[in-house]
Amino acid sequence: MVKAPSLISLAALAVKRELLLGDDVIPYVCELPADLFDILLTYLPPLALQKLQTKMDGDDCGSPDYCFENGRKHGRYGNFNTVWKKLFKTRWSGVTDQIEPVDWQQRYWEAHVQGCLDEAAELVVLPSFRGLISDINISDTILNYIGYEQQMNHLACDYSKLSYHCQQFGHYARCLRLQNALCVEETCQLLRESKLQSLVLRWIRFEEHVQALCKLLIQNSETLASLEFLHCKLSPSFVEGICRSLCSKRKRIHKIENLSIDISSFIENCPSSVVVELVSFLSSGRSLCSLKLRHCHLDRDFGRMVFSSLLEASSSLSILDLSGNSIGGWLSKYDRSGPLFSLGAGKSLQSLRLLNLRYDMIGNAVSLLLCKLFFPTINSWQFQ
């Protein structure tokens, strides 16, 4: 025998539908006793919860002190965060953050925007794709997760379009991954409200990708701290464009803390020019604390130039990963008693705590001894 629904659950579902379709019920929701209010939150899907919290943040429930006497406002806002955490864990049960988020509402919508962009990227690469990226229809699976219902299709906003999701929730995005298919001018417009702190880029290889990427970097230059390139092809103009997009116009200094270029390659007909541009970028990074250039087909001349630029830079690098390259022999060219190591020079390398030179043809125990002489502060070594 099926258990009959409780009166509270029926009322909560009715309120949910009203919230999804309009705002009229919100003042009455704000009048609920704290215990009923908390129960209601657990019945709300993301779209309804978002609308209610946004209205309450804007004091749309009435006067500024409306229904928040005796410290109840703080408690209710804490309950919102708990519900957002539950919604996130339900939708992305296999995702575990290294550091638990403080703001679960932000984390939820950031992951939602990423899911929408991933879906869009799969469609854009199809030969049959025509039209605007912003007009791409989001799948029913994603729409159902956030609480979209068919009776909402008469509303002014079009929940089915990618543009709606980017415009409404793009400002929550702090960390995103972008495929090359989405590195276009239109994506920059869709993400114009974002304040990205971390950006992962994949398969960036052509000039049109670079131009759009540079615009996106300019939009987020004040907040971006981590930049990762995966399966990319780097040209001098590519690296120069990145540097100019991120650097302050006055001081030519960027705020990147973590730079990673992985399983990528340089344009073969002008590798030295690429190295010069990359070295210039490294020299402009006073905040740089992690540098990873892995499996990029780099030779020992490149290793020497990177090493020289880091010796002269003013950042405090703690992680240096040059694994998967052919840079063996570059350490033996330096004299630790020389001028580069005197009078405080080499600050970037004095702060090193982790050095990874795996698969770098670094040589035998002599090379390891050289590394220990050059980098006495390192407490984690990885060689092979």
Is the residue at 260 inside a domain?
no
- Name the strand (E) or helix (H) holding 262: strand 258-262
* pLDDT score for 332: 60
* pLDDT score for 64: 41
Is the residue at 186 inside a domain?
no
- Rounded distance, CA 195 to CA 61, Å? 29
Number of domain units in the chain: 1
At residue 269, what is the residue type?
N
- Name the strand (E) or helix (H) holding 90: helix 72-91
* pLDDT score for 237: 84
pLDDT per residue over 12-37, tens digit each? 999 999 999 888 999 999 999 999 99
More confident site: 77 or 164: 164
Is the residue at 74 inside a domain?
yes
Is the residue at 117 inside a domain?
no
Q: Domain limits at 63?
A: 7-91
- Rounded distance, CA 230 to CA 179, Å? 10
Is the residue at 79 inside a domain?
yes
Is the residue at 326 inside a domain?
no
Is the residue at 270 inside a domain?
no
Residue 319 banded pLDDT, cuts 50, 70, 90: very high
Residue 128 banded pLDDT, cuts 50, 70, 90: very high
Instruction: Give the chain's radius of gyration (CA, Å).
Output: 26
Residue 71 banded pLDDT, cuts 50, 70, 90: very low
> 3-state SS string over 197-260?
CEEEEECCCCHHHHHHHHHHHHHCCCCCCEEEEECCEECHHHHHHHHHHHCCCCCCCCCCCEEE
Is the residue at 38 inside a domain?
yes
63 pLDDT above the threshold of 70? no
Q: For all residues of the chain together, what is the average pLDDT?
A: 84
Among 68-72, 163-167, 168-172, 248-252, whose mean pLDDT is lowest?
Answer: 68-72
Residue 134 banded pLDDT, cuts 50, 70, 90: very high
* Single pTM value for the model: 0.88
Half-sphere exposure of 51 (CA within 13 A, CB side): 21
Per the DSSP assignment, residues forming a β-bridge with 226 are 198, 258
